[in-house]
């Protein structure tokens, strides 16, 4: 009984365990795993990428957590900072997206996201734009 209590105290230093659900943009369904409330967002991204690769999901993402951003629909349209704790938001559902790649254009030295160059969708058809429009909560008048 004494060992059980000592073991329990060591785990409470990180906080309570929570079930995290991470939806990867472009994947079939969410990845679910248990994490501690005190875990950093960067470690959650790393764990999600490892689970994604272990399950053999497509499209293949890679393993560098620095190439990805984690979003929380409850917290707003901004990406979560990698050094924040995951339990500070009080949310359990997240979305994992690849960081937009920047590509240098011609002579002007202008840098723009790769998705808007040659064949990108017009009108900013990203999910982030959709979330921003959803938060605006405009009520049309008749």
Query: Rounded to an integer, what distance in angstroms lies between the CA atom of residue 90 and that of residue 6?
Result: 27
| pLDDT tens digits along 51-71 | 999 998 888 888 888 899 999
Query: Rounded to an integer, what distance in angstroms lies between the CA atom of residue 41 and that of residue 95?
Result: 12
| Residue 12 in this model has a pLDDT that exceeds 60 | no
At residue 18, what are phi and psi to the nearest 5 degrees? -135, 150
pLDDT recorded at residue 49: 93
| pLDDT tens digits along 69-126 | 999 988 888 899 999 999 988 899 999 999 887 765 555 555 555 444 444 444 556 7
pLDDT recorded at residue 129: 72
How many other C-beta atoms are found inside a 10 Å radius of the C-beta of residue 34? Answer: 9
Cα angle, residue 122 at apex, residues 70 and 72 outer, rounded to 5°: 15
- Residue ranges and CATH numbers for the domains of the chain are 2-99 (3.10.20.90), 103-137 (no CATH)
Is the pTM here over 0.85, yes or no?
no
For residue 40, the cross-strand partners are: 85
């Amino acid at each position: 009984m004494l060992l059980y209590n000592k073991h329990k105290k060591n785990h409470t230093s990180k906080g309570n365990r929570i079930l995290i659900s991470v939806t990867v943009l472009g994947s079939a369904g969410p990845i679910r795993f248990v994490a501690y409330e005190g875990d950093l967002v960067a470690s959650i991204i790393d764990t999600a990428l490892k689970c994604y690769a272990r399950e053999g999901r497509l499209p293949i993402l890679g393993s560098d957590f620095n190439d990805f951003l984690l979003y929380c629909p409850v917290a707003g349209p901004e990406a979560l900072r990698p050094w924040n704790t995951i339990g500070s938001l009080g949310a359990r559902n997240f979305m994992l997206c690849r960081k937009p790649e920047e590509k240098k254009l011609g002579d002007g030295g202008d840098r723009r996201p790769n998705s808007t160059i040659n064949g990108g969708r017009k009108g900013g058809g990203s999910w982030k734009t959709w979330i921003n429009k959803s938060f605006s909560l405009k009520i049309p008048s008749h």
